[in-house]
Amino acid sequence: MKDGTDDSERLGAPLDWQDLNLFLAVARTGGLTAAGAATGLSAPTLGRRMAAVERAVGRRLFVRGARGYGLTAAGEALRDRALAVEQAVREVERWRGADAGPRLVRISAGAWTSRHVARHAAGLLPADRAWSLEIVTDDARRDIARREVDLGIRNRRPEEPWLAGRRLGTVSFAVYGRAGRFEADPSTPAVALAGLPWIARAEGPGAPPSAQWIDRHHGGAVVLRGSQPRVLLDLVQAGAGVTVLPRFVGDAEPDLDRLGAPIAELDHEQWLVAHHDTRHDPPIRAAIRAVAAVLG
Cα(27)–Cα(47) distance, integer angstroms: 12
Residues in the chain: 296
Each residue's pLDDT expressed in tens, for the chain with a length of 296 residues: 343 334 443 455 667 778 888 999 899 888 898 888 778 788 899 999 999 999 989 999 999 988 789 999 999 999 988 888 877 777 776 666 656 668 889 999 999 999 999 988 888 888 877 888 899 987 777 778 777 889 999 999 998 888 899 999 999 999 999 999 998 888 899 999 989 999 999 876 667 899 999 999 999 999 999 888 889 999 999 999 999 999 999 999 999 999 999 999 999 999 999 988 888 888 899 999 999 998 87
Q: How far is CA 62 from CA 39, 203, 243, 265, in A?
A: 19, 49, 55, 45
CATH no. for 7-96: 1.10.10.10
Is residue 71 classed exposed, middle or buried when 0-12, 13-18 and 19+ CB atoms within 10 A define those classes? middle
Residue 169 contacts residue 266 (beta carbons within 8 Å): no
Q: Give me the sign of the Cα torsion angle 55, 57, 63, 66.
A: negative
Is residue 56 classed exposed, middle or buried when 0-12, 13-18 and 19+ CB atoms within 10 A define those classes? middle
Q: What is the pLDDT of residue 4?
A: 39
Q: What is the pLDDT of residue 279?
A: 87
Q: What is the pLDDT of residue 101?
A: 67
151: CB partners within 8 A, 6+ apart: 105, 106, 107, 108, 144, 272, 273, 274, 284, 287, 288, 291
Q: What is the pLDDT of residue 3?
A: 38
Q: Three-state SS for 201?
A: strand
152: Cα within 13 Å, side-chain hemisphere: 24
Is residue 216 classed exposed, middle or buried when 0-12, 13-18 and 19+ CB atoms within 10 A define those classes? exposed
Classified by CATH at the fold level, domain 102-169+268-295 comes out as D-Maltodextrin-Binding Protein; domain 2 (3.40.190)
What letter does residue 180 receive in the DSSP assignment? T
Statement: the pTM of the whole predicted model exceeds 0.85: no
Cα(236)–Cα(256) distance, integer angstroms: 8
Beta strands 131-137 and 103-109 are parallel
Q: Could you state, in order of their start, the residue ranges of all structural domains in the chain?
A: 7-96, 102-169+268-295, 173-266
What single-letter amino acid sits at 244? V
Cα(83)–Cα(71) distance, integer angstroms: 14
Q: What is the pLDDT of residue 94?
A: 65
State which CATH number among 3.20.20.70, 3.90.230.10, 3.30.70.580, 3.40.190.10 fits the domain covering 173-266: 3.40.190.10
Residue 229 contacts residue 111 (beta carbons within 8 Å): yes
Same fold: 102-169+268-295 with 173-266: yes
